[in-house]
Amino acid sequence: AGLGEFRIRDLNDEINKLLREKGHWEVRIRELGGPDYARIGPRMLDHEGKEVPGNRGYKYFGAAKDLPGVRELFEKEPLPPPRKTRAELMKSIDAEYYGYRDEDDGILEPLEQEHEKKVIAEAVEKWKMEREARLARGDEEEEEEENIYAVDDESDEEGGKEKEGEEGQQKFIAHVPVPTQQEIEEALVRRKKMELLQKYASETLMAQSEEAKRLLGL
């Protein structure tokens, strides 16, 4: 390492040149019918030389592996973190994930109430200022607020009737004919009679009863 960067690079290039020459001789020996030393010969150990992937067999030895720009080539990129499955992701989802426990800490709710009071006070103050400004211009006089519960006096097509009290004040408006208590009781009695007749009377008696009603015009 004390030889300097340029001397180390020259020595490393010389070693790679000798390795290439050795490879050429091995190919020539095999062409002449000799043994295949590339297959049966001793292999170079990893600690003696490292080859950068995609560098066409160029190896770095000793201090050459720590030269600037070379060290980064041998650093392995960290593996990407494993992706979580859908089931693993769902394990961490609870009510707090959806914000249902935001008020449990006792901090958010008082802040919201304080902000709400502030907004309401600002809205009321703005309304008062606008109303005073309109009154100052004479655009409107002091008038009573509109009664949202007032009932229209006009009657509809069903002939609704307006009933007034002793002092002439409006009580209610009937837009549809409302039966009295006596009419309701008479209707119930008629219905009960018809149920008893259908239950106990014979068909002949029923026919006679219907004929009598028809003649009487009932």
Tens of pLDDT along 103-134? 777 787 888 889 999 999 999 999 999 988 88
* Dihedral of the alpha carbons of 125, 131, 135, 136, in degrees to the nearest 10: 40
The whole-number pLDDT of residue 80 equals 80
Tell me the C-alpha distance between 51 and 73, whole Å: 10
> Is the pLDDT assigned to residue 175 strictly greater than 80?
no
Identify whether the C-beta of residue 176 lies closer than 8 Å to the C-beta of residue 195: no
3-state secondary structure (DSSP) of residue 51? strand
Percentage with pLDDT > 70 across the chain: 71
Max avg pLDDT among 87-101, 115-129, 144-158, 161-175: 115-129
Mean pLDDT (the chain, rounded)? 76
Decide: pTM greater than 0.75: no
